[in-house]
Structure 1
Amino acid sequence: MPNNKFAHSRIFVGLALIFIAGSEVWAASPEAATAANAFLWVAIMLLLAKISGLIEKIGQAAVLGELLMGVLIGNLYLLGIDVIEPAKSNEIIIFLAELGVVILLFQIGLESDIAAMRKVGVPALLVAVIGVVAPFALGTYVIGPWLLPGLSANSYLFLGATLTATSVGITARVFRDLNVLHSHEAQIVLGAAVIDDVLGLIILAVVSAVATTGEVGILDIGWITLKALLFLVGALVIGQRVAPLASHWLSKIHTGSGMKFSILIAFCLIFAWLAHLIGLAPIIGAFAAGLVLDEVQFRDFAEPELIADIRRVAGNNESDTAQRVRETLARHEKHNLEVLIEPVGHFFVPLFFIFTGMQVKVDVFFNLHVLVLAVVITAIALAGKIVAGIAAGPVNKWIVGWGMAPRGEVGLIFAVTGKALGVVSDEIFSVIVAVVILTTLITPPILTVLIRRAAKHGR
């Protein structure tokens, strides 16, 4: 027992020395302290994300637990605990969270099948169009004038535009958690979400121009549309030609998994940058990169390792060679691109969902007027997306409709843009934030129930 007490006292002394030294560093270099604090916050966020995974024991997707955990720690300030508040504005945390959603969409692209998405091209297009037109019309011409009378036409335009957004990251994470990413419903939602983002970009650009100049020309709309389409088509066509060449030439330097991993990440980040460069969301570029690399076999990397493995495992026993070769081939086949990038996803993706939850301000709901508006507008906003499932064809239309429902970070981008232009008031902004919160938190559990029920009944 004395030894234990002595050991404990040494631990306390050590911690005290660390804190004293830390305070000196803080005073000497605030920048270094900001970076060091980010290390601690990231560690805490990752551990809390894994603890929140307990929600899977009650049949819900892990993403819901991460969002709720983020909401919990992000609102501790209401209890007088403000230790987490600096993390909300820490530039390092913000960057890592943004990188998280880029990595997530890249993973989704890697796991998606271009051929399968082509098969659902028409339904995805119809779902996207209805999922944009219906919420925009409801927000601009029904919800706005009815629930928020007396505002400018530009305010109603931005409200409608905000309701058109779809946060594919949240839905895609649910599909991935439940291992249904290759289902027809998931492919339709993913394809529709890409088209939805393009249409949303066009609407955002148009209403922003109207709010700024009072008018927008048809040529401006045409150019925005053309840029988006050219990027998506160009990324797939050019990328499928460039990726194999890059793989071949870089394999001459090194054929290990480190080089293969570097190619994957480089393509992801370059495509995300190119998308941002022409005004698209970086996540669209990351998704396109994943689709491109999903078709690349990286043969120049696999063959040298494969030959070495075959020689090693076959040995001098010729009778076992065929079976051992088959086992080696199977092992290499499993070591695919998705497996290679998965550890990166385990690190960055939970940070995005925890951070998204941290941005939720629960005290917004303390205002009864805002709460009532938020609930009514959320119900109508959900209906505007769910109705899009009608055009999904012979699949589970409820899954497709609910898959398009969450607004997430995309809706917030629309709201922030409108507020910066001075056409979205504080009240409307609070309502929009509440709608984003509700659609983000409601969708994962409902979607989980629908998918499990469909699997149970074999449809």
Structure 2
Amino acid sequence: MQLDFTTFSLPLFATATETADSSLVLAAVLLSMVVIYLASKVGGELSNRFGLPPVLGELVAGVVVGISVLHLLVFPEGGADSSNSLIMTFLQTTGGLNPAAADAVFKTQSEVISVLSELGVIILLFEIGLESNIKDLVAVGVQASVVAVVGVVVPFTAGTVGLMAFFGIPAVPAIFAGAALTATSIGITSKVLSELGRLNSKEGQIILGAAVIDDVLGIIVLAVVASLAKEGSVDVGKVIYLIISASSFLVGAIVLGNVFSNTFVAIAKKLKTRGGLVIPALIFAFVMAYFAAAIQLEAILGSFAAGLVLDETDERVELQKQVLPIADILVPIFFVTVGAKTDLGVLNPAIPSNQEGLVMAVFLIIIAILGKVVTGFSVFGQPQINRLAIGVGMIPRGEVGLVFLGIGSSIGILSKPLEAAIIMMVILTTFIAPPLLRLVFPEPTTATAIQEMLLDNSSGKSLVIESPDSQDDK
């Protein structure tokens, strides 16, 4: 049976504008997905060849196909329109897309890709939650809290005061820029740690816990600064609400893990059809993500909490295997999209309006890096821990920094130079963290290498030394 794709209507997106042809929207989305997957695979493979985390290659590939270079994947929030998109041009040439309707198709296609990107990061954090352990996170809870608080207070204070003192920036824009410095991209850092096999190390657990707390603190800071910018005063009631709701949500997720795990396993065992384990798990993850978003937290915190809860179940290993291919499909969309939205044009010093921004960017980048690196040295009672790795793991701002920037731009309190400086800070901290993490985390010694070192040539026998992990597996 031949399928006619024109029969698959997209009423949700078609109603967004009367001129958007649903079949052409579908065609544009499909072409965008081809670009995303090709970019992620080529970028990831090349990055891996050079001994760098594949996620860095995906980010760089996103930059190449995005607004900065090839203009294959562009988005209207960056100021682009259909004339800037090579995919729209291609559809006009080959698909009969009317130039008058191109803008409507472009906007709808961009919305679809952005939604898929958000879904990708939700799945990523759910996967990371499954790979983590509540007990380990609780064990480093105090230290992670200290790291998070230092990682918020130091860059926020230094950035705000420095912008006011050295550049004469008014108080409210300076405070907003300082708030953007507090962010930490849990998605990027956790992905790199997972690729390095360090997610469950002591350093990895502190970074992960601190990044979660940092996200919560960042949301509270953002709410305070946004209220100050809009109304000239802070809504104390809203701030108290955010603090209580964030704390209750995270604590409730931990408590839920002890209650829900057995119930989940019992339900999953009764389901005999395809997807009997992974579908209920995704339902739970999406419900938790919804609740987090509903109480004005980030949806990714909800999916991460859901992963932590299900990590306590007996079906954890099998669930990880079933979630992995879903993550392989959706997560690359997120990283390539982050790169595609990055406009490197703000780095061009030949443009006069960029010159002031470049100077401020250098200042913000220094504060952004040092303000997070010092957090590792706030860890106490762990003489053998890699403090530099903890600080470096907190550096990337990624999508969280872009959220701060987007809100600041929408309010209209940021000047063009300051906006460009924040963009450059987000870009550099996002791209520098993955290779730095590779440098500060030495390669672990494998059991195979130890066996080769202790090979007894005289007897022709090797001394077999099993790693603790292999003994645990047995």
Q: TM-score, normalised by structure 2?
A: 0.78
Q: Name the CA distance, whole Å, in 2 between partners of 1:375 and 1:455.
A: 38
The correspondence for 1:391, drawn from 365, 372, 378, is 378
CA 1:389–1:250 in structure 2 vs 1: closer, same or farther (change >3 Å)? closer
Corresponding residue of 1:33: 24
- 2:147 paired residue among 93, 110, 127: 127
Provide Cα deviations, 1:280-307, integer angstroms capped at 9, x if missing partner: 0111001000000001224xxxxxxxxx
Per-residue Cα deviation, 1:19-69 (whole angstroms, up to 9, x for no partner):
xxxxxxx99962221122211211221122111122111110001100000
User: How big is the shift at 1:381?
Assistant: 1.0
Residues 232-260 of structure 1 deviation map (CA, whole Å, 9 limit, x = unaligned): 112232354245324424543x2356110
Aligned to 1:59: 51
Q: What letter is aligned with 2:65?
A: I
* Preserved CA contact (<8 Å) 2:127 2:307: yes
Check conservation: 2:28, 2:109, Cα contact below 8 A.
Answer: no
Q: Check the 8 A contact 2:130/2:320 in 1, yes or no.
A: yes
> SS of 2:199's equivalent?
coil
Aligned ranges 1:14-29 → 2 under 5 Å: none
Does structure 1 residue 111 correspond to structure 2 residue 110? no
Of 180-189 and 85-94, more deviation after overlay is shown by 85-94
SS at match of 1:76: coil
Task: Show the counterpart of 2:408.
Answer: 418
The CA distance in 1 between the partners of 2:207 and 2:272, in whole Å, is 36
Whether contact under 8 Å (1:97, 1:351) holds in the other structure is yes
Is the alpha carbon distance of 1:250 and 1:114 closer, same or farther for their aligned partners in structure 2, counting shifts above 3 Å? Answer: closer
Distance 1:373 1:217, change over 3 A: closer
1:146 to partner: Cα distance:
3.5
Matching residue's letter, 1:76: V
Matches within 5 A, 1:21-420: 30-52=21-43, 53-74=45-66, 75-77=68-70, 82-84=85-87, 86=106, 90-142=110-162, 144-149=163-168, 151-216=169-234, 218-238=236-256, 240-249=258-267, 251-252=269-270, 254-255=271-272, 258-298=275-315, 336-366=318-348, 367-393=354-380, 394=382, 395-420=385-410
What is the one-letter code of the residue matched to 1:71?
Answer: V
Deviation per residue, 1:89-137 (Å, 9 max, x gap)? 6111111111111111111100001111111111101100100000110
Contact 1:88 1:355 in 2 (8 A): no
Change (3 A) 1:379 1:230: same
Q: Give the conservation status (yes or no) of the 8 Å contact 1:109–1:294.
A: yes
Q: Which amino acid aligns with 2:310?
A: L
**1:436 correspondence with 2:453:** no
Matched position secondary structure for 1:452: coil
Residue 29 of structure 2 aligns with an amino acid whose one-letter code is A
Establish whether residue 446 from structure 1 lines up as the match of residue 436 from structure 2: yes
Contact 2:183 2:400 in 1 (8 A): yes
Q: SS at 1:90's partner residue?
A: helix
When structure 1 is superposed on structure 2, of 29-38 and 343-352 the one drifting more is: 29-38
Q: Distance in 2 between matches of 1:344 and 1:87?
A: 26
Partner amino acid, structure 2, of 1:67: L
Contact 2:25 2:109 (C-alpha < 8 Å) held by counterparts:
no
Inter-CA distance 391–89: structure 2 relative to 1 (3 Å threshold): farther
Percent identity, aligned pairs only, is 39
2:463 maps to which residue?
A: none
Structure 1 residues not aligned, in runs of 5+? 1-17, 19-25, 299-332
Moved more, 78-87 or 353-362: 78-87
Q: Deviations over 1:378-418 (max 9, x none)?
A: 11111101110112242101110010000011111111112
- Deviations 1:153-208, CA, capped at 9 Å, x for gaps: 11111011110000011111111111111111110000001111111111111111
Query: Deviation of residue 226 (structure 1)?
Result: 0.5
Residue type at the aligned position of 2:416 = D
CA distance in 2 between counterparts of 1:420 and 1:225 reads: 24
Equivalenced residue count is 395
Distance 1:28 1:218, change over 3 A: closer
Task: Note closer, same or farther for the CA distance 1:29–1:411 as it changes in structure 2 (3 Å cut).
Answer: closer
Secondary structure (helix, strand or coil) at the match of 1:51 reads helix
In structure 2, what residue type is equivalent to 1:447? L
Q: Which amino acid aligns with 1:60?
A: L
CA distance in 2, matches of 1:244, 1:153: 52
Bigger mean CA offset, 411-420 vs 86-95: 86-95
Structure 1 residues 336 and 251, CA, compared in 2 at 3 Å: closer, same or farther? closer
Say which structure is richer in helix: 1
Distance in structure 2 (CA, Å) of the matches to 1:78 and 1:292: 41
Q: Report what 2:453 is aligned to.
A: none
**Structure-2 change in CA distance of 1:452 and 1:230 (3 Å):** same
Please state how far the C-alpha of 1:209 moved relative to its aligned partner. Answer: 1.6
CA displacement at 1:372 relative to structure 2: 3.0
Could you tell me how far apart the structure 2 residues matched to 1:411 and 1:35 are?
31
Instruction: Assess if the C-alpha contact under 8 Å between 1:35 and 1:92 holds in 2.
Output: no
Question: Which residue of 2 is the match for residue 310 of structure 1?
Answer: none
CA separation of 1:213 and 1:72: change in aligned 2, threshold 3 A: same
Q: Which amino acid aligns with 2:252?
A: G
Distance 1:386 1:454 in 2: 22
Change (3 A) 1:29 1:430: closer
Instruction: Tell me: higher relative CO, structure 1 or 2? Use CA pairs within 8 A at least 6 residues apart.
Output: 1
